[in-house]
Amino acid sequence: MADSTRGPFARALLQQCLHAKLQIQRGLIIYVCFFKGASEEIIPKMVNTLVNVKLSETESGEYVSVLDLPGSILVIPQATLGGKLKGRRMQYHSNIEKEIGMELYSQFVTQCRRELTANTKFAESGVALKYGTYGNRQVLKVDTNGSFSHMIDF
Amino acid sequence: MADSTRGPFARALLQQCLHAKLQIQRGLIIYVCFFKGASEEIIPKMVNTLVNVKLSETESGEYVSVLDLPGSILVIPQATLGGKLKGRRMQYHSNIEKEIGMELYSQFVTQCRRELTANTKFAESGVALKYGTYGNRQVLKVDTNGSFSHMIDF
């Protein structure tokens, strides 16, 4: 999604899980990071992409979106994903300012909820949207039969 | 590490954990993916970087390498990290051919073991190196007090 003339503004890492604490059942874990220059304009495209990308395996081995599974979503703010290696340390100079990042993260979660509740399959199935607190340490248990990690830049 | 004239040849995603099954105790999870054009020349630099990058938190809150912690290492082959979004699906055209990837993965694990066993702190501490089987589904349990995900391209 990102092109070389403007560099990525946001990064999402997706993992499949059977369980993850902050507790969700079967579904998708989305780790989110915003870079300097990101604005609220990218949020609808990010959310639309992430809830619709066909990465979730059904019982019959077909890949569908988390919305169509339907599965739960666990959103984890993960600013460390913006780190760049410098010698033996990671530096985070490309990351967005904390206050703006917090606001974008909040909008991201809100728009995820909106997409999910608009989907009848999701709304009827009792699956959940959970999300970590921006800026906090993310204490997490994950149980997966194939973490199946994917990275998407926006 | 990667520069724009040659694109990344390999990608590593690092996560901190308290426990991870395939079972290790406290340490570092390294998800590894190789791209087309990768050769064995990049393995020493990859391994050296990954075991020495200061991302592991000590009891006193200092960040040291997994070697210095010392912590266990869990290596997970994760070809899905090379996926690129195309419409609503991920495509894996940039990924290395399976046989070469398997050989590079095997060398990666061997060189990890070599670095670890050469380190007296690591050798004496009873920590472990575990790794998933290339090409298999990675069944995994992770327990973390901050997954602290980092991505490094080589």
Sign of CA dihedral B143, B149, B150, B154: positive
From A72's Cα to the closest Cα of chain B, the distance in A is 18
State the pLDDT at residue B11.
77
Task: Give the mean pLDDT of B56-75.
Answer: 89
In A44-149, DSSP assigns E strands to 56-57, 63-64, 72-77, 84-86, 89-91, 129-131, 140-144
Give CA–CA dist A152/A14, Å, rounded.
8
Mean pLDDT for each consecutive 10-residue tract of chain A (154 residues)? 60 65 73 92 93 90 90 89 92 93 96 88 80 84 82 90
Of B65, B83, B138, Cβ closest to residue A147: B138
Q: A63 contacts in B (CB within 8 Å)?
A: 89
Task: Give the mean pLDDT of B123-133.
Answer: 84
CB B42 within 8 A of CB B153: no
For chain B, the average pLDDT equals 85
Question: CA dist A66 to A19, A97, A116, A117, Å?
Answer: 14, 30, 10, 13
Q: B31 contacts in A (CB within 8 Å)?
A: 147, 149
Give CA–CA dist B5/B35, Å, rounded.
15
State the pLDDT at residue A20.
58
Task: Give the mean pLDDT of B122-134.
Answer: 83
State the pLDDT at residue B5.
55
Q: Between B25 and B90, whose confidence is greater? A: B90
Give CA–CA dist A43/B107, Å, rounded.
41
State the pLDDT at residue B147.
78
State the pLDDT at residue B59.
86
State the pLDDT at residue B69.
87
State the pLDDT at residue A145.
79
Alpha-carbon torsion, ordered A74, B14, B147, A12, to 10 deg: -30
Give CA–CA dist B32/B96, Å, rounded.
12
Mutate: best of B4, B5, B15, partner A, most A CBs <10 A = B15
Q: B151 contacts in A (CB within 8 Å)?
A: 11, 13, 81, 83, 151
Question: CA dist B113 to A52, B40, B127, Å?
Answer: 40, 16, 12
State the pLDDT at residue A89.
93
State the pLDDT at residue A4.
46
Phi first, then psi, for residue B103 (nearest 5°) are -65, -45
Backbone conformation region of residue B42, classed left if phi is above 0, alpha if psi is from -120 to 50, else beta: alpha
State the pLDDT at residue B25.
65
Question: Residue B34: is its pLDDT beyond 90?
Answer: yes
CB B95 within 8 A of CB B82: yes
Number of Cβ atoms within 10 Å of the Cβ of B39: 12
